Chains A and B, each alone.
Chain A
C-alpha cells in the first residue's frame, strides 16, 4: 500500500469552529470540515494530485484537451486561465471532449481521455459547477490520440487572434510548466513530453471570446 487516506472524526463540538471531521493522507493533514460531505471534493482533488505526482504510468499535465480529426489539441493552463471555456467552445464546434483539467500522457506521448465532468464557474464565482457529460451531446473521446496542436493561450478581453508559432521544444517547456510531476520525475516528464510534441504544431498568443476562435483553432489541424 503506497497511500493511505484517513478520516478522523472528533466528538460533536470538537475542533476549531466545530470542524470535527479531519481528512489525513498518512500523517499529512489535508483538510477539516464540519461535515463529511464537505470533505468529499477536497478528497477527490487531493487524491487526483497525489496520483498525478506519483504515478509513472501516465504523465498528468494541467491542460484542457479535445480531439479533432484523430489528433489531440492540448491547452495547458493554470486555473482561471479559461481552459474549460475554450474546451467547451471547441466541443460545440465539433471536437470531442477529452478533459478540461488534465492531459493524461502515456510514454509514447499520446493523450488519453480523462473524462471527468467539466467544471464551469458561473460568472463572478470562484467555485465550479460540474456539467454532466451528457450535456456535451455525446461528443466524448474514448481513444488515445497523438498530439496535433499545443495551444498556449489565455483569455484576454478583445484580444486579436494572432498566435505565434513556437518550436516543439518550446512547446515541451510550456507543458512542463504545467506538469504535476515535473520536479519529482523530470526524466520521465521530459521523455514523455518530447514524444508528445515531436509532431505537434505549437502556437502561443492571447485569445478573445472562445466561441469566436474555436473554429479557427480547429482549422490548424487538417
Chain B
C-alpha cells in the first residue's frame, strides 16, 4: 500500500461563529446550523490543527503546554470527535478508526494521563433542545467502544475513570 505520509489535520475556518468562555469554546456551524461546546482539551487540539503539523508533533506541543505526558492516542481521541462534529477539513473522515495499537493503549491506560480531561464536545442539534455529547462517560450504556470517552465498552457500559462529566468543564490537577 502506498505511504501517503503523515496525517496533518486541518481545522475548518469558514462558516463558523464563536463564543468564548473560560475553559470552553462555543462554535456555531453555519452550514448545518449545529452548535458545539468544546471543552478546553478539545479546543486546544482543534486549535493546533493547522493543516501542516503531524499528530505526533501536536501531541508534543500539548504535552509542553500542559506539562503532562500526551501521546498520539490522546490526540486521536479529540480528532475523532472533531471530525464527527464536522469541525475538520476532509483530512480525516468522520468515524476514523483508531489503529488497533492506539485503541489498546487507551484500554490499558484507563483513558487519561496525569488527570487531563478527555476531549469532549457537546452538540446542539437543530430542532432539538437536547444536547448530545460526542462520547459517553463512565457508567453510561454503550454498544461499541467507540461510543465511550474511555474507548472501552464492556458489558454494555462505558468503563474508565478520569472522564470529564457531561457538560462539565475540563480540569487539570
* Chain A residues within CB distance 8 Å of chain B: 76, 78, 152, 165-170, 172-174, 176-178, 182-183, 186-187, 189-191, 193-194, 197-198, 202, 204
Contact with A along B35-62 (1 / 0, CB 8 A): 1110100000000000000000000000
Partner pick for B124 among A166, A173, A191, A198, CB 8 A cutoff: A173
Apart from A167-B39, A202-B167: 17 A-B pairs, beta carbons within 8 A: A167-B23, A168-B21, A168-B22, A169-B25, A169-B169, A170-B122, A173-B36, A174-B129, A174-B131, A176-B35, A178-B129, A186-B17, A187-B17, A191-B19, A193-B19, A194-B20, A204-B167
Do A173 and B17 touch (CB < 8 A)? Answer: no
Is B26 in contact with chain A by the CB < 8 A criterion?
yes
A-B contact count (CB 8 A): 85
Partner pick for A172 among B17, B21, B30, B166, CB 8 A cutoff: B21
Do B19 and A78 touch (CB < 8 A)? Answer: no
In terms of DSSP, what is the predominant structure of the interface of chain B? strand
Shortest distance in angstroms between A173's beta carbon and chain B's nearest beta carbon? 5
Q: Which residue of B lies closest to A195 (CB)?
A: B19
Given contacts A167-B169, A183-B33, A190-B28, contact A173 B21 (CB under 8 A): no
Contact with A along B109-147 (1 / 0, CB 8 A): 000000000000010100011010000000000000000
Q: Which residues from chain B contact A172 at a C-beta distance below 8 Å?
A: 19, 21, 26, 37
Q: How far is the CA of A190 from the CA of B18 in the complex (A)?
A: 6
Contact with A along B1-26 (1 / 0, CB 8 A): 00000000000000001111111111
Shortest distance in angstroms between B106's beta carbon and chain A's nearest beta carbon? 24
Shortest distance in angstroms between B148's beta carbon and chain A's nearest beta carbon? 20
Q: Which residues from chain B contact A152 at a C-beta distance below 8 Å?
A: 129
A-B contact pairs, 9 of them (CB 8 A): A166-B167, A168-B21, A169-B24, A170-B131, A170-B167, A177-B128, A190-B19, A194-B19, A202-B167
Q: Which residues from chain B contact A186 at a C-beta distance below 8 Å?
A: 17, 28, 30, 35
Partner pick for B26 among A78, A177, A194, CB 8 A cutoff: A194
Is B168 in contact with chain A by the CB < 8 A criterion?
yes
Q: Which residues from chain B contact A170 at a C-beta distance below 8 Å?
A: 37, 122, 131, 167
Q: Which residues from chain B contact A178 at a C-beta distance below 8 Å?
A: 129
Q: Which residue of A lies closest to B128 (CB)?
A: A177
Q: How far is the CA of A173 from the CA of B128 in the complex (A)?
A: 11
- Name the residue in A170, A177, A178 with the highest tally of chain B Cβ atoms < 10 Å from its Cβ: A170
Q: Which residues from chain A contact B19 at a C-beta distance below 8 Å?
A: 172, 190-191, 193-194
Shortest distance in angstroms between A171's beta carbon and chain B's nearest beta carbon? 8
- Name the residue in A172, A173, A189, A194 with the highest tally of chain B Cβ atoms < 10 Å from its Cβ: A173
Q: How far is the CA of A108 from the CA of B53 in the complex (A)?
A: 37
Q: Which residues from chain B contact A167 at a C-beta distance below 8 Å?
A: 23-24, 37, 39, 167-169
Do A176 and B169 touch (CB < 8 A)? Answer: no
Given contacts A170-B131, A178-B129, contact A189 B28 (CB under 8 A): yes
Q: How far is the CA of A167 from the CA of B37 in the complex (A)?
A: 10
Q: How far is the CA of A191 from the CA of B128 in the complex (A)?
A: 21
Shortest distance in angstroms between B86's beta carbon and chain A's nearest beta carbon? 15
Do B21 and A169 touch (CB < 8 A)? Answer: yes
Q: How far is the CA of A166 from the CA of B20 in the complex (A)?
A: 16
Q: How far is the CA of A172 from the CA of B129 in the complex (A)?
A: 12
Q: How far is the CA of A166 from the CA of B166 in the complex (A)?
A: 7
Shortest distance in angstroms between B135's beta carbon and chain A's nearest beta carbon? 15
Q: How far is the CA of A167 from the CA of B120 in the complex (A)?
A: 12
Q: Which residues from chain A contact B30 at a C-beta distance below 8 Å?
A: 186
Q: Which residues from chain B contact A169 at a C-beta distance below 8 Å?
A: 21, 24-26, 37, 39, 122, 167, 169
Q: How far is the CA of A172 from the CA of B36 in the complex (A)?
A: 10
